[in-house]
Structure 1
Amino acid sequence: MKRMMKRSSMLLLLTIIAVSLLSACGDKPQAEQTPGGAVANEQGKTGSSTEQPSSNSKDSSSKPTKSWSEPPKMVIDPTKNYVAKVKTNKGEFSIELFAKEQPQTVNNFVFLANEKFYDGVTFHRIIESFMVQTGDPLGTGAGGPGYTIKDEYNVKRSYEPGVVAMARTMAPDSAGSQFFICTGADAAGLDQNPTYAIFGKIKDGMDIVTSIAKTPVESNPDTGEVSKPASEIKIESVTIETT
């Protein structure tokens, strides 16, 4: 009888331990990330040259946003010069768009800007020595326009301060609306694996971009990365000019 009681007690104890372990695992956040548009990639350490611009692949917000089922048709003339005037609550800066070299990527950006898709969108990820990232209407790193575009790598440039590129997942052709602006030396680490389509460069107002990069940040509760702006930095409007 005593042996049976000991055996029963041992089985009960093992059951309790097993349930506790399963519960603990279930509480851990999923470390999914994505560069730019919609990316599920491996997370790098803050300040590391191997970091990737990222966005979470799971949608954690029900905020209504504009969405399309397919990429836009060509609305730009690649023979013309395009400049995006970006107004933020920190100031204004302009981006020279590489329409001749990256027509599909620039076309996508111009389409979204003309649709006012970026109005009110925040900079949701900031790493001063690396880049500032925006373009997600949800502000979580999980949002996009409802479609993805083809990757374009026709521009032979380095990821240096001022360069603007699409963020995407580790999967090819997965960029959508999210983009990042290189702000520090750590961005050079992307040159080892240039898989983020460079489609523009800051023309005027790099001081504003730098001030955005200096925004105090805190730990992101979903990823643990210290890159979440402690105060809201947002795009108020994007205006496209053609010459």
Structure 2
Amino acid sequence: MSVLIVTSLGDIVIDLYSDKCPLTCKNFLKLCKIKYYNGCLFHTVQKDFTAQTGDPTGTGVGGDSIYKFLYGEQARFFGDEIHLDLKHSKTGTVAMASGGENLNASQFYFTLRDDLDYLDGKHTVFGEIAEGLETLTRINEAYVDAKNRPYKNIRIKHTYILEDPFDDPSQLAEMIPDASPEGKPKEEVKDDVRLEDDWVPMDEELGVQELEEVIREKAAHSSAVVLESIGDIPEAEVKPPDNVLFVCKLNPVTEDEDLHTIFSRFGTVISADVIRDFKTGDSLCYAFIEFEDKEACEQAYFKMDNALIDDRRIHVDFSQSVSKLWSQFRQKDSQKAKGNGCFKCGSTDHIAKDCVGGNQASKFIVKDQNRQHGGGEGYDMVFEGDGEREKSHDKEKKIPSRHGYGEGKRQDRYHERDTEDKAATRNNGSRRQQREDVRDRDRERERER
């Protein structure tokens, strides 16, 4: 009477006490036969105490006995089979995890050390581990959280009955699946994020050089994300061109033409630019060389590093600059903006500056003459509300009164308003003159003192 349990950490063979605990052993064997335990988690692992499993929900509060499937809901639990000579005396003891007296279902546990006398007389001991104590040791060493649940899932993969002394009930044949199920049970509750049982650490999966390369790539990507967030590069995924060289430690007297001539022997040079100070025009002693193809660039990289140019040993490397790529991304952005259509009327077949009309008037206008810079071509500042004021002003000037009386009254109001503005200007000028006179008198008094 034994069962082979295949877990994600190794195999375990259990010998059952079928003579002393027939009800419990029959329940365990038939549940294994219908593959009830396949995919069940070791949901509770208490180091040097117990490792508990057998709940398809993975919560520790689920599970049904085989008698429920055979006889109905009222037979979900079955009674204890506690014997005083069956104790938790050694590592690998197998016992039922019950919800109370005579409340056994499907959950069971393994003891992880000797002499757990505290559990004697409280739980039904129905077997012991015959093979696979090393697997039990690996389960005991699992990292767990505050609720004693492993951070990396430990699952029962398969169960195989090696010997079964009990006859199968007639209803059991319908419950046996055609193939052993794999993966997670359908009833499993997803409450916390865990590492799955087939997860392998990267340092165990890759070699030393491959691992270092992956780490470098991740570090470079993290740096690129930071540069994108502060605006140094257009996108984190952007890559520098592979046909441009960076040359430094140049002599200040080295010119663009000199570098073009020297590097042209490796292939066609599109540009050779010595970077200069924007104020003084002096060389900053480094340059960028752009080739027509990648092969010429690589050849120049291997041949010209540490070469002597104008009595200076130069250093050559592949360029990491993406400054020339900014224009490409700006063009993409502008094309995207063009695809958004007109914000005035909502149409998608033209943009706002080409709009000839719309259902709703915009509250923003663009003035044709830039008076701040002396008029002429260009655009002035955009002001909210100016559009309504100018439209209303135009209506008042263009729409005449039917009898002429309204037009005359409106012109009178404009005349009175201009008169008041001129009077206010004269008053402001006289007050300003008075203040200047007072200041002059104060200065003369100070001189006399």
Q: Give TM class, smaller chain.
A: 0.5 to 0.7
Q: Give the 5 Å matches for 1:9-158.
A: 82-145=1-64, 147-154=76-83, 156-158=85-87
- Are 2:91 and 1:161 aligned? yes
In the alignment, is the contact (CA less than 8 A) between 1:218 and 1:228 conserved in 2? yes
Q: Secondary structure at the match of 1:202?
A: strand
Structure 1 CA distance for aligned equivalents of residues 4 and 36 of structure 2? 14
The whole-number CA distance in structure 2 between the counterparts of 1:228 and 1:89 is 15
Pick the aligned partner of 2:126 from 192, 199, 202: 199
State the Cα distance separating 1:213 from its structure 2 match.
1.3
Distance 2:97 2:130 in 1: 20
**Unpaired runs of 5+ in structure 2?**
69-75, 165-449
SS at match of 2:145: strand
* Residue type at the aligned position of 1:164: V
Match for residue 188 of structure 1 among 86, 92, 117: 117
Decide whether the 8 Å contact of 1:123 with 1:233 is kept in 2. yes
1:216 corresponding residue in structure 2: 143
Greater length-normalized contact order (CA 8 Å, ≥ 6 residues apart)? 1
TM-fit CA distance, 1:155: 6.0
Question: Which residue among 148, 153, 156 is the counterpart of 1:232?
Answer: 153
Counterpart residue identity of residue 96, structure 2:
M
2:366 is matched with which residue? none
Farther off after superposition, 141-150 or 161-170: 141-150
Larger Rg computed on CA atoms: 2
SS of equivalent residue, structure 2 residue 122: coil
Q: Is the 8 A contact 1:128 1:184 kept in 2?
A: no
In 2, the alpha carbon distance for the partners of 1:186 and 1:153 equals 17
SS at match of 1:212: helix
Number of residue equivalences: 153
**Alignment root-mean-square deviation, CA:** 1.5
Instruction: Give the AA of the match of 1:238.
Output: T
Offset of residue 185 of structure 1: 4.4
SS in 2 for 1:228: coil
Deviations 1:112-158 (A, max 9, x none): 00010000001000011101000000001011115111110136122
Q: Do 1:217 and 1:229's aligned partners in 2 also have CA atoms closer than 8 Å?
A: yes
Q: Name whichever structure is richer in strand by fraction.
A: 1
CA distances 1:20-52 after superposition (whole Å, capped 9, x unpaired)? xxxxxxxxxxxxxxxxxxxxxxxxxxxxxxxxx
SS where residue 240 of structure 1 aligns?
Answer: strand
Query: C-alpha separation between the residues in 1 aligned to 2:52 and 2:8?
Result: 15
In 1, Cα distance between the equivalents of 2:79 and 2:114?
28
The alignment partner of 1:113 has SS state of helix
Tell me, in whole angstroms, the C-alpha distance in 2 between the residues paired with 1:166 and 1:95: 14
Shift of 1:242: 1.4
The structure with the largest helix share of the pair is: 2
SS at match of 2:43: strand
The answer (yes or no) to whether the contact 1:129–1:187 under 8 Å persists in 2 is no
Work out the CA distance in 1 between the residues paired with 2:84 and 2:16: 11
Q: For residues 155 and 117 of structure 1, do their structure 2 counterparts lie closer, same or farther at Cα, with a shift above 3 Å needed?
A: farther
Q: TM-score, with normalisation over the residues of structure 2? A: 0.33
* TM superposition shift of 1:189: 2.0
CA-CA distance at 1:104 after TM superposition: 0.4
TM (normalized to structure 1)? 0.60
Task: Name the structure 1 match of 2:102.
Answer: 173
Matched-pair identity in %: 32
